[in-house]
Copies of this chain bind each other. A is one copy, B any other.
């Protein structure tokens, strides 16, 4: 708050020093101060723009730099990264199964595009594509070939997993995990240097491809948010406005989170709502609008690259033909309950596993071995079951799909003669055939496999997202229930439940819709997303029709999961890591007062050090800031000085300012006090003092104090009683207090 215009007394010696007003690593920013800094900058540019044309042009370019940055973020995330990651991971995933003779750089689908086979069945089995057994032994039949392929599958999976874990470990430890918990924390005003840096970006991109291709039970959607945020952070360096201001940069990062989801699902509106609901802390309307722009740019860039090869914007395109009936709400709510239970269970199990990893030697010394073991286990168990062998996205896509006449999938294995009763392209309800029963068994096994594997995979030292595994679990459960309902309806269409809306020969139950509802319910249970989840799903189907089932399931799922544990998986991981994150969603319900939380406590002896500052004091304590009072007797508050600013200024003065020695007194008065004739000249530091510190009275209820901290993004707040300084409350104090109330260890909050 230096140089704030004519009405403020500015110490001429105190031109802003480099470093004053910046933050240390693992510290919380002061939102109010940062925003004020940006307004100062903007005011200066506006004032100058009236003086010359160059300054006017500068002002205009400054105004549009935000849009330009958004455009760049959208283009970069959409093309280079999301497109590249999609293409590369498709190729490597296919490589586990075989290789293309035309060139090893073709994936299965591309390889067969070039062949001239046109019928649907044969397109997938073109002669140019050879499985490993075929390539080595010349035949793809028999037990030996099967074992050969099996082994090659495991080999590649292990190789990819090994590369992924080693690369992360060697070059960018921040690249592991989904990144969303950390991004939430960063957006709430925390600083983690390097978390969004170029090395993280490069390594995360590469290892994400490897991890996805290794067949581990993880998705690339969450990490894509991290990757998009890295892009945005790096691009911020192009513009002074965003490079130098932590708040402005966080606006861009919020938009980048929207871009990440937009490219992951092809759902721009859902992405923006995801950023608003789940990730962002400070989301002004301007950011809403810009996020939307960036998300659209990214989605269209991705579409023009066309990595899915179907020129569709969305990951899973679904088209259902039959409407749903009110009675079906019962199974949908059931799926919601399942999703909620699974969400709560998953969070508990995963956190317990991660805590074990954190505290035992397993995670600290052997992440590579852990990765290899999990990858091997996954590959060995996954290969025999076709539903676990395919990638998560493929699995979901197949489960969402409504059976049509042309479908060769096992899931549509209804007796052939029944398909004559079909209307148009959609099939009427049918009894299940042999193929379908096999598929159901395989799906049930796949469900348990996915559940187990997801718990132990999420949190490993590789990039790992949760969206796809959670959705896959829900989709399997939903499809199983859907087929069950279909059979029930077929055999009981005369019962009172189905009578009137499900006559024989009609297509009344859509198992694919159940899969979609189940996927939404499970994802909702794990992440506690609501509106954004429904909108993402709505954008996948494009029909308002199906919002009601989705909403019923998501709502139930959230209620059930919340009843079993208040936190979503991301909040749980934030807490596990001890980040200082003040949750927006939860109300502070306790009736304590500010005086109960502040330091020094009522019962503590008064801290002498709180009232006057000497260099020795600064160096002997670890307080990150000091209040300045009129005198030790009156204790009337004047201002607040940050430790970092103080240290930098003192050091600078010692080097540059004549006469200042370490014994000099530091003064904050407007006028230099009468100097002791024998002492050294005092060091005047009024310029670095915040003359407008936030205060609350000791009687302020903590719920109001927490509200103030959240809404204004404070770092600390001084407590007064009848105008006298009494103590200080920091964000960490609040978090510790909240932990104590919830019977958790208050020392789990690690950072300030």
Name A's B-contacting residues (CB within 8 A).
Answer: 1, 4-8, 32, 35-36, 39-40, 42-43, 46, 268-269, 272, 276-277, 284-286, 288-289, 292-293, 296, 299-300, 313, 530-531, 534-535, 538-539, 542, 544, 547-548, 551, 555, 584-585, 587-594, 596, 630, 634-639, 691-693, 695-697, 699-701, 703-704, 707-708, 711-712, 720, 722-725
Give 20 CB contacts A-B under 8 Å: A7-B591, A7-B596, A8-B699, A35-B704, A36-B704, A39-B587, A43-B589, A285-B584, A296-B548, A296-B551, A313-B544, A594-B692, A634-B723, A636-B636, A637-B722, A691-B697, A692-B697, A693-B697, A707-B712, A723-B725
Give the chain B neighbours of A276 by CB distance below 8 A.
288
Give the chain B neighbours of A634 by CB distance below 8 A.
723
Contact A591 B700 (CB under 8 A): no
Closest to A269 in B: B535
Compute how far the CA of A695 lies from the CA of B6 in the bound complex, rounded to whole angstroms. Answer: 24
Compute how far the CA of A635 lies from the CA of B722 in the bound complex, rounded to whole angstroms. Answer: 9
When A285-B584, A699-B692, A700-B692 are in contact, do A591 and B4 touch as well, CB less than 8 Å?
Answer: yes
Give the chain B neighbours of A277 by CB distance below 8 A.
285, 288
Closest to A32 in B: B704
Closest to A692 in B: B700
Give the chain B neighbours of A696 by CB distance below 8 A.
692
Give the chain B neighbours of A587 by CB distance below 8 A.
39, 42
- Count this chain's copies in the assembly: 2
When A43-B589, A43-B591 are in contact, do A636 and B36 touch as well, CB less than 8 Å?
Answer: no
Compute how far the CA of A637 lies from the CA of B700 in the bound complex, rounded to whole angstroms. Answer: 14
Closest 4 CB pairs of A and B: A636-B723, A692-B700, A691-B699, A5-B591
Closest-CB distance, A25 to chain B (whole angstroms): 26
From B292, B542, B590, B724, A542 is in contact (CB under 8 Å) with B542
When A589-B42, A723-B634 are in contact, do A296 and B547 touch as well, CB less than 8 Å?
Answer: yes
Compute how far the CA of A6 lies from the CA of B286 in the bound complex, rounded to whole angstroms. Answer: 44
Contact A4 B701 (CB under 8 A): yes
Closest-CB distance, A602 to chain B (whole angstroms): 11
Give the chain B neighbours of A286 by CB distance below 8 A.
585
Closest to A638 in B: B722
Compute how far the CA of A535 lies from the CA of B272 in the bound complex, rounded to whole angstroms. Answer: 12
Closest to A292 in B: B531
Give the chain B neighbours of A530 by CB distance below 8 A.
289, 292
Closest-CB distance, A524 to chain B (whole angstroms): 11
Compute how far the CA of A711 lies from the CA of B711 in the bound complex, rounded to whole angstroms. Answer: 6
Give the chain B neighbours of A299 by CB distance below 8 A.
544
Closest to A558 in B: B289
Contact A39 B703 (CB under 8 A): yes
Compute how far the CA of A514 lies from the CA of B259 in the bound complex, rounded to whole angstroms. Answer: 28
Give the chain B neighbours of A5 by CB distance below 8 A.
591
Q: Tell which of A296, A696, A699 has the most Cβ of chain B within 10 Å.
A: A699
Closest to A708 in B: B712
